[in-house]
Amino acid sequence: MEFVQIRRDLHKIPELGFQEHKTQRYLLNYLHSLPQERLEIKTWRTGIFVKINGLNPVKIIGYRTDIDGLPIGEETQLPFVSEHPGQMHACGHDFHMSIALGVLTHFVNNPIDDSLLFIFQPAEEGPGGAQPMLESDIMKAWKPDMIIALHIAPEYPVGSIAVKEGLLFANTSELFIDLKGKGGHAAYPHQTNDMVVAASMLVTQLQSIISRNVNPLDSAVITIGKITSGTVQNIIAENARLEGTIRTLSVESMDMVKNRITALVKGIEAGYNCEAAIDYGSMYHQVYNEEKLTREFMGFVEQQTDIELIHCDKAMTGEDFGYMLKEIPGFMFWLGVDSSYGLHHSKLNPNENAIGKAITTITKYIEYKGSQA
């Protein structure tokens, strides 16, 4: 299948956010190989907007795919392994792009009454491309009346789609905390302010926010995934850096968690006689599926004989597609790809049979929506 090969080509060239130059060039080469009569193609930074003008347009239906990779060294040993050391499509954006191209190609050759807008968005994994793309002049001129997107799901079987109305993905925020104390000889700790000790205490205290400040009937996560401190075993560390992520199911909980982090960090400053700085980095708005459109889509999927509909629960994953759904009615759904390794894993290996099934299902759904007034 052509789009399986496209997926493999793209898998070889993963690039980080706003550095997707090879990826953009590959996509543009493909797009320019298609019949151009109804196509309008515009670039935005390393992203692309593609409009297919309808035969008798009443509305614009939007479809968004992300295009960036992750800073992960690949360990799949696939014949089309990443050619970029330390970078990998470990979140399935190679799948997302090939599916989008498959759907787009169908409608270039088989236009419907309504116009379609395909958005190839950079920097989903960071620092966030959806919001600035949404605010671009191109998007304002071509703003769709509804928009959809998918994300691969390793835990679901091929031939399944998982979705729910309302909240699907959490609010997320990056978290970076820098501590600066006073270093010195390991034999004279009383002459120093040890940032390994301060950082260790702070990590423990941060977990108390979840257990003691968040409503037990609500949900939130604080994960510190990386700590950097010190230079050698017999020198007390002068600096420490904590890097992590925050996930909440409401905007209000996110604000509360950040306020508590600020208070605890101030306490560390006072208790360990050090200086601290907090940076919340990129924040992603929750993915909230519009109820009416999602219910309609679920009903449509239930009528398909080759696709199983799964009613899923909300997840603590983050996705900057939430910014688009904040402004445009639409939804995101999970596509089953049946991998024994999960998202962001160096051995993620989705089943490529899901590509054709996704293209067929999305094409049928857009044809269905395009037939409605």
Active-site choice (125, 174, 290, 319): 125
125 is catalytic: yes
66 is catalytic: yes
Sign of CA dihedral 358, 359, 364, 366: positive
226 CB neighbour count, 10 Å cutoff: 10
Which candidate, 116, 92, 151, 177, places its Cα nearest to that of 320?
A: 151
| Alpha carbons 344 and 89: distance in angstroms, whole number | 8
Active-site choice (20, 66, 74, 238): 66
Residue 109, CA atoms < 13 Å, CB-side half-sphere: 9
Q: Work out the widest C-alpha separation in the chain, in whole angstroms.
A: 80
Which candidate, 249, 244, 241, 247, places its Cα nearest to that of 218?
A: 249
Decide if 325 contacts 147 (C-beta within 8 A).
yes
Q: What's at 93, amino acid-wise?
A: H
| Active site residues per annotation | 66, 125
